[in-house]
């Protein structure tokens, strides 16, 4: 009787597991084979829809001698990318930021006619977020550091909120982290920091969480695809989650999916430089259907994948699950 009851419970659990994303059939869409120079890996690269409708990605690669490089990649269909051979990174020329420590996790937000890029600069004394911008996807104008150490992830909202620029961020607290929001009058000086979402005891996001894609504005709220991490006997496992923030006060979570949106299920997400990583970096609307969200994500710190989801369905699910 006991065994029978257990089996029923398991069957019920799996039958209620819903799938909200569709992985592109020919994933991964970008691998080291697409990089003009030899590279060890390509991962966690921000992307944006340019004015001409193309998808521009700032590809983050590591060369075979582990030097980080950023290269622009352009796609007309969001799937086939052509990577420019030019390294466009502006490395900070100050100790303790030395190239071999790394620069990574580019994110791009279109804001007031500029494409703003945030990325992490690592150092042995902790990482910091640097900001640069471009209008033409060639020259990057460096705007310097915009956080204190130790900071890990940062995405800008695509418009001012109540007269101020806004960002979601993940300061590192020891070996863990939660999602905060800060505001700025000029994109350089930030403050009024407030906790938005805390790590959840739910297993998939119990170790740390951080902003993933820059927020997408919907009529019901800011739709945010973020990453959550759990610790296992085999190291960290990174998954993608989804939450909805209040339009006028984005420090307020008005809905959040209980279960994760995506977790490492495919071989290219489970095996690579760092196993078991699904790391969302962009959520873009392009193509014929404005309801389709195109989610770009790093896979196992080795290549880049694409998955699509219905914005309406994600919003409804966040609201149905509640703010938690
Ligand atoms: C995080 C970041 C990500 C990376 C992940 C897994 O801390 O460094 O860029 O994908 O770890 O290695």
Mean pLDDT of all residues belonging to the chain = 92
CA angle centred on 185, ends 293 and 139, rounded to 5°: 60
pLDDT at 131: 97
pLDDT band at 201 (very low <50, low <70, confident <90, very high): confident
- Is this prediction's pTM over 0.85? yes
> Measuring from atom 12 of ligand 1, which residue has the nearest CA?
274
Mean pLDDT, residues 172-191: 92
In a 3-state reduction of DSSP, which class is residue 268?
helix
Architecture of domain 31-321: 5 Propeller (2.115)
Identify which of 129, 264, 301, 305 to mutate to test ligand 1's pocket (most ligand atoms within 8 A of the CB): 301
Q: Is 88 in the pocket of ligand 1 (CB under 6 A)?
A: no
Cite the DSSP H helix spans in the chain.
2-16, 267-270, 311-321
* CA contacts within 13 A on the Cβ side of 260: 25
Q: What are phi and psi of 257, to 5 degrees?
A: -65, 135
Mean pLDDT, residues 178-190: 98
Percent of the chain with pLDDT over 70: 94
Report the candidate in 207, 247, 205, 195 with the shortest Cα–Cα distance to residue 226.
205
Any idea where the domains of the chain sit in the sequence? 31-321
Please check the confidence at residue 3 and state whether its pLDDT lies above 70: no
Using CB atoms within 10 A of its CB, is residue 16 exposed (0-12), middle (13-18) or buried (19+)? Answer: exposed
């Amino acid at each position: 009787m006991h065994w029978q009851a257990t089996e029923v419970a398991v069957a019920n659990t799996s039958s209620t597991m819903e799938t909200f994303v569709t992985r592109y059939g020919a994933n991964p869409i970008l691998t080291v084979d697409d990089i003009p120079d030899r590279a060890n890996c390509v991962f966690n690269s921000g992307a944006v829809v340019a004015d001409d409708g193309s998808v521009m990605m700032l590809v983050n690669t590591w060369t075979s001698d582990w030097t980080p490089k950023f290269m622009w990649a352009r796609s007309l269909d969001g799937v086939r990318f052509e990577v420019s051979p030019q390294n466009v990174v502006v490395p900070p020329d100050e100790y303790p930021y030395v190239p071999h420590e790394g620069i990574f996790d580019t994110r791009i937000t279109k804001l007031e006619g500029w494409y703003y890029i945030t990325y992490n600069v690592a150092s042995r004394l902790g990482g910091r977020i640097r900001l640069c911008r471009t209008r033409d996807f060639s020259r990057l104008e460096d705007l310097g550091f915009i956080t204190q150490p130790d900071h890990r992830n940062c995405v800008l909202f695509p418009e001012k909120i109540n007269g101020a620029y806004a960002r979601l961020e993940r300061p590192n607290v020891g070996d863990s982290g939660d999602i905060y929001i800060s505001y700025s009058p000029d994109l350089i000086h930030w403050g009024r920091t407030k906790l938005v979402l805390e790590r959840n005891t739910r297993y998939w996001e119990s170790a740390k969480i951080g902003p993933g894609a820059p927020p997408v504005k919907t009529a019901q709220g800011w739709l945010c695809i973020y990453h959550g991490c759990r610790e296992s006997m085999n190291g960290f496992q990174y998954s993608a989650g989804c939450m909805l923030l209040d339009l006028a006060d984005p420090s307020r979570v008005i809905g959040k999916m209980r279960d994760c949106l995506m977790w490492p299920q495919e071989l290219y997400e489970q095996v690579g430089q760092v196993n078991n990583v699904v790391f969302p970096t962009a959520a873009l609307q392009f193509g014929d259907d404005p309801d389709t969200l195109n989610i770009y994500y790093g896979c196992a710190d080795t290549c880049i994948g694409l998955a699509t989801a219905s914005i309406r369905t994600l919003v409804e699910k966040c609201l149905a699950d509640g703010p938690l």
